[in-house]
Amino acid sequence: MARIGNKQITREKLLDQGVAMLMEHGYHGTGLQDLLSSVQVPKGSFYNYFSSKEEFGAEVVQHYIEPFIRQLGDYLSRPELDALSAMKRYFCDLIAELERRQFKGGCLLGNLIGEIGDTNETCMDALKDAYHRYRDKLTEGLARAQAEGTVRTDQTAEVLADLVSDSWQGALLRMKVEQSVRPLQVCVSHLFDGYFKP
Amino acid sequence: MARIGNKQITREKLLDQGVAMLMEHGYHGTGLQDLLSSVQVPKGSFYNYFSSKEEFGAEVVQHYIEPFIRQLGDYLSRPELDALSAMKRYFCDLIAELERRQFKGGCLLGNLIGEIGDTNETCMDALKDAYHRYRDKLTEGLARAQAEGTVRTDQTAEVLADLVSDSWQGALLRMKVEQSVRPLQVCVSHLFDGYFKP
């Protein structure tokens, strides 16, 4: 039992560190030996935890997206907030966090789709799944906002969720170009206070 | 003279091949030896042409963006087209090309900003410059469309150009996720036939 517990803890550590390293160096720029030594796991023991680098990348993607879906879900389940306010508060938190991180990182999903989207089928399956699960949570929020009368209803909530996701991804890239969170603020304001108005 | 000419031709070949390889494999996934052998340049002679891989990456970025700026400029200078129609025709061409390529590649600027935006200053300077020059051409088109009364004027042309650029980048990522040009078509339609209407 103890050994299984330790193995699970190490696995989590490798996934946490994987998020950080893939975010900073990309998929091909992240070496497995560097990963292992950074969490003090013996060299050569990687395959005790993951069957391949591709499999590891796919699990890192799942590990990465969970907290975002949970955070958005938490805001959406607050009884004192209408859905539109909940989504705005969520994006406001993300913007504050990106400012604290000095505009580094962006979105691991977008970064990896750009880097290995044409070449790594295993990771791409995980990226698709993560993209859709995140989109579904946004759709849930937008559908509620539509029902509450704060978002236009002539487009489906899913179409609007895709627009949020697309604009946000592009704004994250521009954040790095401009070294500023202004593109993110403009994105949220144009959608939620502009185009999405009923 | 002949030697300088040949050197220039080889340099162009390396840049062309650089665009293709960085697009497919990313920055870290592109090996200089593979690059050289794919254009039949002797191994080890890379530094006759470029001072470093970073410098090569920066030149590839410039080499990549030029045809897009030219193509958009060509549409904008056609006397029979108003600016809005010119921009729509330009994006329509890009969509047709991406469909022909089976949704591969996307935008090299977006891919590289995602992959090496936090770590490679030389390339990032080139990416910023390319991003802004492309944005300036879009701004020119949008400003003319505003003057022609086909685009809203309560936002500056530059702000609208950034929105086009952001949404398009995100739509390119989703193109790869969905394996479809539908996200690109939706992006163009929501902006030019929706949000941008006067």
Q: Is the pLDDT score of B100 beyond 90?
A: yes
pLDDT at B4: 66
Does A119 lie at the interface with B, CB-CB under 8 angstroms?
A: yes
Considering only CB atoms, A167 lies closest to which of B124, B159, B167, namely B167
pLDDT for residue B25: 95
Q: What is the pLDDT of residue B2?
A: 55
8 Å CB contact between B138 and B71: no
Does the pLDDT of residue B180 top 80, yes or no?
Answer: yes
CB contact under 8 A, B167 and A166: yes
| Rounded Cα gap, residues A107 and A169, in angstroms | 7
- For B2-44, what is each residue's pLDDT tens digit? 566 889 999 999 999 999 999 999 999 999 999 999 999 997 8
Sign of the C-alpha dihedral computed for residues B83, B87, B88 and B89 taken in this order: positive
For residue A165 the two structure tokens come to 């996701």
Is the CB of B176 less than 8 angstroms away from the CB of A110? Answer: no
State yes or no: pLDDT of A3 exceeds 90.
Answer: no
Dihedral (Cα; A125, A127, A131, A137), 10-degree rounding: 90
- Count Cα atoms within 13 angstroms, Cβ side, for A162: 20
Percent of chain A with pLDDT over 90: 94
Among A162, A145, A159, CA closest to A198: A145
ipTM of the complex in this document:
0.95
| A43 confidence band (pLDDT: 50, 70, 90) | confident
Does residue B97 carry a pLDDT above 90?
Answer: yes
Cβ–Cβ below 8 Å for A173 and B115: no
- What region, left, alpha or beta, does residue B118 occupy, with left being phi > 0 and alpha being psi -120 to 50 degrees? alpha
Q: State whether residue B125 is helix, strand or coil.
A: helix
Inform me whether the pLDDT recorded for A44 exceeds 90. Answer: no
Q: What is the mean pLDDT of residues B93-103?
A: 97
Instruction: Please give the Cα distance from A30 to A165 (Å, whole number).
Output: 26
Confidence of residue A186 (pLDDT cuts 50, 70, 90): very high
pLDDT at A40 exceeding the cut of 80: yes
Displacement of CA A173 from its chain's centroid (Å): 14
Q: What is the pLDDT of residue B43?
A: 79
- Asked whether the predicted pLDDT for residue A1 surpasses 60, the reply is no
pLDDT at residue B126 in the model: 98
Q: Provide the 3-class DSSP secondary structure of residue B190.
A: helix
Instruction: Assign residue B107 a region (left: φ > 0; alpha: ψ between -120 and 50; beta: otherwise).
Output: beta
Q: Tell me how far apart the terminal alpha carbons of chain B are, to the nearest angstrom.
A: 56
At A110-157, the pLDDT tens digits run: 999 999 999 999 999 999 999 999 999 999 999 999 999 999 999 999
Q: Which helix (H) or strand (E) holds B63?
A: helix B53-76
Tens of pLDDT, residue by residue over B104-162, are 999 999 999 999 999 999 999 999 999 999 999 999 999 999 999 999 999 999 999 99
**If you average pLDDT over every residue of chain B, what do you get?**
96
The answer on pLDDT for A8 being more than 80 is yes
**Does A101 contact chain B (CB < 8 Å)?**
no
From CA A64, how far away is CA A58, in angstroms rounded? 10
pLDDT of the residue at B136: 98
CA–CA distance from A19 to each of A32, A69, B111, B112, B176 (Å)? 13, 16, 18, 18, 21
Instruction: Go through the domains of chain A in sequence order and give each one's CATH number.
Output: 53-195 (1.10.357.10)
SS (H, E, C) chain A: CHHHHHHHHHHHHHHHHHHHHHHHHCCCCCCHHHHHHHCCCCCCCHHHCCCCHHHHHHHHHHHHHHHHHHHHHHHHCCCCCCHHHHHHHHHHHHHHHHHHCCCCCCCHHHHHHHHHCCCCHHHHHHHHHHHHHHHHHHHHHHHHHHHCCCCCCCCCHHHHHHHHHHHHHHHHHHHHHHCCCHHHHHHHHHHHHHHCCC
* B164 touches A: beta carbon within 8 Å: no
Please check whether residue A197 touches B, CB under 8 A: no
* Spatial separation of the C-alpha atoms in residues B116 and B55, rounded to whole Å: 14
Q: B173, B174, B195: which to substitute to probe chain A, counting the most A Cβ within 10 Å?
A: B173
Answer yes or no: is pLDDT of A4 > 70. no
pLDDT for A190 beyond 60: yes
pLDDT at position B13 is: 96
pLDDT tens across B82-91, in order? 999 999 999 9
Closest Cβ opposite residue A29 in set B24, B28, B131: B28
Is the separation of the CB atoms in B192 and B87 below 8 Å? Answer: yes
CA distance B52 to A98: 31
pLDDT digits (tens, 9 = 90+) for A47-74: 999 999 999 999 999 999 999 999 999 9
